[in-house]
Amino acid sequence: MAAKWYEFVTGSLEQKKQYKQYKARVEALPEPYRAAAKALDRYLMTVGGLTDGEAMVQMLSDSADLWERAAADGTPVRDIVGEDPSAFAQEFTAAYSGKQWIDKERDRLNKAIDEAERNQER
């Protein structure tokens, strides 16, 4: 029972474990892949907008897979991200359909406008 209460407050313990595993995988990458993976991670966490923990963990795991394969194959970093790394990051994030913070804001806006309309009709 305590674990369920704890997870309700802090989030999934399994997802936290998976996130720590992801971080360890990134730390194990050789340079320059480690630096590129960390930069992508920072961008995804700041701009990615996902609020669904399961989608986020899957996205980060896939990112680690990508960088591990690139390092193993010796693929140049620029060949992975292209000329516009932020566009790459946006496209990468778009592949994951988890709930995003913008969804909450859209709902909030729609409800506020509906409420304003109801008040205007009175």
**Beta bridge partners of residue 100, listed in sequence order:** 50
Domain span at 70: 2-121
Bigger pLDDT: 67 or 114? Answer: 67
Instruction: In whole angstroms, give the CA distance from residue 111 to residue 122.
Output: 17
pLDDT, tens digit, 9 for 90 and up, residues 46-96: 876 666 778 888 889 999 999 999 999 999 999 999 999 999 998 898 887
pLDDT, tens digit, 9 for 90 and up, residues 34-57: 999 999 999 988 876 666 778 888
Counting the structural domains of the chain, the total is 1
What are the angstrom distances between the C-alpha of 60 and each of 9, 17, 70, 121?
23, 13, 15, 48
CATH of the domain at 69: 1.10.1900.10
Flag whether pLDDT at 5 surpasses 70. Answer: no
C-alpha torsion sign, points 34, 39, 40, 45: positive
